[in-house]
Structure 1
């Protein structure tokens, strides 16, 4: 269990924090969120949104650059330098959305027509809707609002404030767009000047997390023979691939449940879900497929390697083959991203927890086990200690109907974001107004 280590904040920092919080403007945050949500930015095609944000960050007094990765997409890096001798802290968020926002999403995301699935913004009172309006664009707007208030309050920074936004943060792989996804953009960002001592990433759930899982993508194929609808059952040489798959799927589902329990570690519970089943062609329903493919994502805790997870799944398949000698199986691991962790006693984790406790007025509880994967894992693997801090999600009480389940992650109630903004402001002032020696960064 992580314990919050008390460090004096002091009256002067409290005055700076009060001045910053006084300048946090929900209406300004909402305007930025509406404008950004109204710019479509699917994974691998974020140029317009990223250029918009680079321009926005320049208007608030930051030195901001658009960093192209190709002619369709790029990242954003902004900096506000302090007086010198302090830490560089990066506020980070992805900028791409997880859906295409067009007919390619149908029917897989559920019924169309919901406001949170549309790649355009809509507002209703304190609500902003549109694809990605909550995740990631609500996070971007909040981080930028905190940076704006900090600059307007003229807090005398010692360290450097960075804002980093990257494409490819969604757990997808878009082959047609240079294989964008799976943290492809954050690698590009870090290699082009985003040198930070600490990072803060904003993501759903009202806790501070010091670690996040990775992920493993698998395909399990059930083999049969190519058939014909007019063939009687029992005809020699015909083996369905679909009926045996129906026997394997419940066993795979149970394996995923047991895997999560068996591999829980730290604050990570690495859930997994079957994402889809493919077999045959709707244009050729008379011909049953020789292959039925089951594909899924299973999360990986930071202390387990993707290779170990691959070995665990191999044992599951071997056991299935032994118990079902009549079923022919093949499998492959076709995607893997390791998890990432930061020492819970690291300054930025502790500072974020102190900020959380200052705003909430209570000790930070043991967080709910985490299965969500973000670019925070990549930041940590690249040596940037990273705190994940968030807000209650999903938002409740929407006056507009929104899609069931995850939907378009596109319904944001602005007042829900403001406590998180205050927590982040605390951590920034706590960190950026101290010397490297105070933060334990000076090498002996």
Structure 2
């Protein structure tokens, strides 16, 4: 079990913390969230939302800039410098949404009527609805409110506070927009002078995590021959690709379950799910397809390389072929992102856990296993110690009907965010009011 090293605030730090928390304003947070959710920002096309946030961070007193990637999109960085001699701490969240919010999402997302799938915002009491209103825009609004309250409280910082958000944070690969996704934006950001000593990533679930998985994308091709509906079964020269694919799906599903168990370690359980099957033409149902493709994402534990996962899958495919010598199979790994980890003894992990325990008034337990991938893995791979901290998710008690399953990650109950804001504020005060030597730097 991970342990938290106690380090009580000084009287001054406690005063600064209480003063800053008193400035946290849930109505201001909600208004920002509403305005940001009203700006559509699909992966690779987040320019308007990013420019809006750059202006907003400037208006609250940060030195803010829009970092262009191309004509359609860019990233955002705001900075509030301290007096000097301290660390730099970046509060980070992605800014792009995982869905397009248009007809191209149908029918794959299911019914598109629920309010959390709409690329426009709606407020109802303490709720904000709209595509991405929870993840990622609820996170952006919360981190911004932390910075706003800190600045209004006039806390005398020694170190520098950064608030950053980047496009390309969703686990997608949008070819039409310069292959946006798979941490493309944060990689661009970190490669161009944004170099904090520590980072805090806000993401769902009410725990502090020190590591996150990567991901591996695979495609299996089941090959046959082009057929015709009028051909009797057993006709020489015709081999279905579709029927064997059904057997491959069943065996692959079992392998994914066993893979997750076999590769679980630390706080990561690397789940995987079959995402889709494609083959043939809906407008030509008389002609069975010569190829049926199965594609899936399997998560990668930080202690397992993408190459090792590829080797594990190769062994599975070798066994599958041996069990079904009549199947004509091919496969490829077409996407890979390594996982990332930070030492549990690192300052930012310990500080985030102290903040969590201060608000929760209990010892931080061993968190639930994590399978979700974020830009935090990329931050850690760049050598930036990173803590992931979040809030209870999904929100419960919505006055509006929401999409089943993951949906649009677009329903936020503002009171749920405020304890997380106070936890993050604790780590900010803890980190940025000390000299570097006290932080292990």
Where on the TM-score scale, by shorter chain, does this alignment land: which range?
Answer: over 0.9
Q: Aligned ranges for residues 286-365 of structure 1 at < 5 Å?
A: 286-365=286-365
User: Can you list the C-alpha shifts for 1:261-315, whole angstroms capped at 9, x where unaligned?
Assistant: 0000100000000000001011111100011100000000001000000000000
User: Can you list the C-alpha shifts for 1:105-156, whole angstroms capped at 9, x where unaligned?
Assistant: 0000011111000000001100000000000000000000000000001110
* 1:185 corresponds to 2:171: no
* 1:148 corresponds to 2:173: no
Structure 1 equivalent of residue 22 of structure 2: 22
Q: CA deviation at 1:8?
A: 2.5
Aligned partners of 2:359, 2:193: CA distance in 1, in Å? 33
User: Can you list the C-alpha shifts for 1:74-105, whole angstroms capped at 9, x where unaligned?
Assistant: 00011000000000000000000000000000
Structure 2 equivalent of residue 230 of structure 1: 230
Aligned partners of 1:282, 1:354: CA distance in 2, in Å? 56
* 1:70 corresponds to 2:36: no
* 1:241 corresponds to 2:241: yes
Q: Is the 8 A contact 1:69 1:75 kept in 2?
A: yes
- Is the partner of 1:325 in helix, strand or coil? coil
Structure 1 equivalent of residue 433 of structure 2: 433
Unaligned runs of 5+ in 2: none
Unaligned runs of 5+ in 1: none
Q: Aligned ranges for residues 103-182 of structure 1 at < 5 Å?
A: 103-182=103-182
Q: CA deviation at 1:173?
A: 0.1
- Is the partner of 2:230 in helix, strand or coil? coil
Greater mean deviation of Cα atoms: 229-238 or 311-320:
229-238
- Is the partner of 1:85 in helix, strand or coil? coil
Q: Is the 8 A contact 1:164 1:194 kept in 2?
A: no
Structure 1 equivalent of residue 36 of structure 2: 36
* 1:99 corresponds to 2:99: yes
- Is the partner of 1:284 in helix, strand or coil? coil
Aligned partners of 1:132, 1:50: CA distance in 2, in Å? 14
Q: Is the 8 A contact 1:216 1:299 kept in 2?
A: yes
Structure 2 equivalent of residue 278 of structure 1: 278
Aligned partners of 1:123, 1:241: CA distance in 2, in Å? 49
Q: Which runs of 4+ in 1 moved over 4 A?
A: none
Structure 2 equivalent of residue 259 of structure 1: 259
- Give the TM-score normalised by structure 1: 0.99
User: Can you list the C-alpha shifts for 1:333-384, whole angstroms capped at 9, x where unaligned?
Assistant: 0000000000011000000000000000000010000000000000000010
Q: CA deviation at 1:192?
A: 2.1
Q: CA deviation at 1:68?
A: 0.5
Q: How many residues align?
A: 441
- Is the partner of 1:387 in helix, strand or coil? strand
* 1:207 corresponds to 2:204: no
Aligned partners of 1:322, 1:269: CA distance in 2, in Å? 29
Aligned partners of 2:195, 2:232: CA distance in 1, in Å? 67
Greater mean deviation of Cα atoms: 190-199 or 202-211:
190-199
- Is the partner of 1:55 in helix, strand or coil? helix
* 1:423 corresponds to 2:426: no
User: Can you list the C-alpha shifts for 1:376-423, whole angstroms capped at 9, x where unaligned?
Assistant: 000000010000000000000000001000000000000000000000
Aligned partners of 2:422, 2:69: CA distance in 1, in Å? 33
- Is the partner of 1:74 in helix, strand or coil? strand
Q: CA deviation at 1:2?
A: 1.2
Aligned partners of 1:383, 1:308: CA distance in 2, in Å? 22
Q: CA deviation at 1:232?
A: 1.0
User: Can you list the C-alpha shifts for 1:181-235, whole angstroms capped at 9, x where unaligned?
Assistant: 0000001111222110000000000000000000000001111110011111111
Aligned partners of 1:247, 1:433: CA distance in 2, in Å? 60
Aligned partners of 2:315, 2:349: CA distance in 1, in Å? 37
